[in-house]
Structure 1
Amino acid sequence: MELIISLIAGAVGGNVAGKTVSSINQGTLINSIAGIVGGGVGGQILSMIGAGALSGGGMDLMGIIGQLASGGVGGGALLAIVSVIKNAMSK
């Protein structure tokens, strides 16, 4: 269940990042795909390093908040990386 929360939060994070920073916006589909991948990776990394109460060790409130935060940030971060790579390749 934690992975699903991270994936959904990543998709939302990727789209929010794309809409907020127009220079990294790649369209809804690419924003969502990058966000899903980034959210899954971000959630897993946070769980592996055990970042205190936000490590997502369960379905308690802090675990859910941690998964939402890490998924959203991971999704936005991966979208930024994809955008930089795509812009570098187009030059």
Structure 2
Amino acid sequence: MLHHIVMWKLKDHAEGADRATNVRKAQALLQGCAALVPGVVRFEVGTAQPGLECTYDLVLNTSFTDHTALAAYQHHPEHVAIKPFMKAVVQERQCMDYLGE
């Protein structure tokens, strides 16, 4: 199984909205991608919670059956369509892909 984890820290203000508004919008856009392709085993979108230590605002924690499924997700037109918004509101991004059970 291929695990794909992405974390984003959003800008204080972007696209005419504050960070909290953009976090909610980004979360909704990502959740809309959960069932785009076959081979998705896990698809979880989480946001930083008040009172808990965190350095990023949003996380995507996914697992795919294999690299082909991840590639299909990454190149799916609906996933590609959210990238301009994400690039506009994101200050920092971290990603890690790894093989595991």
Instruction: Give the TM-score taking structure 2 as reference length.
Output: 0.31
Instruction: Give the TM-score taking structure 1 as reference length.
Output: 0.34
> Which protein is richer in strand relative to its size?
2
Higher relative contact order (CA 8 A, sep 6+): 2
> Which protein is richer in helix relative to its size?
1
